[in-house]
Amino acid sequence: MPLSEEDARRITSRLDLPVEEFTKPLSETGGVLELANSPVTDACVFLETDSKDASAWGVCWIYEFRPMGCRTYPVVLDMNDRVFKDDLCPWPEGFPEATDEQRQLLLELEASIKQESEQRAQGDD
């Protein structure tokens, strides 16, 4: 899950954790902040579960301040910026169909994350 800097700051301030403890190394993500996965379950580091099964029950322990991408999931953008419900979601029937408002929100989030990544890259030069 990609993170905006605002998402990362919110998580860091609430949990008093350095961003490196819950994100993948920037060298692996092309400079984009992304939530890391647990090496034990392969699920998000903030999902409390004991199973590697993608449809296993789990609880997000940062639910109240989860990243924007998590807030909109299972609504995502395809490679052509069309909005749809992700087929990989194990419970798609629990969510309404994707809307144009969600598409706009995701496009804005994507643009923000891309800009932040480019600024980080320029700062490394």
Distances (CA, A) of 72 to 46, 78, 88: 17, 14, 14
Q: What pLDDT, in 10s, does the model give residues 9-56?
A: 999 999 999 999 999 999 999 999 999 999 999 999 999 998 888 778
- Categorise residue 117: left if φ over 0, alpha if ψ from -120 to 50, beta otherwise: alpha
> Residue 125 has what pLDDT?
60
Q: What's the whole-model pTM score?
A: 0.86
Q: What pLDDT, in 10s, does the model give residues 55-77?
A: 788 899 999 999 999 999 999 99
CA 111, 117, 118, 120 torsion-angle sign: positive
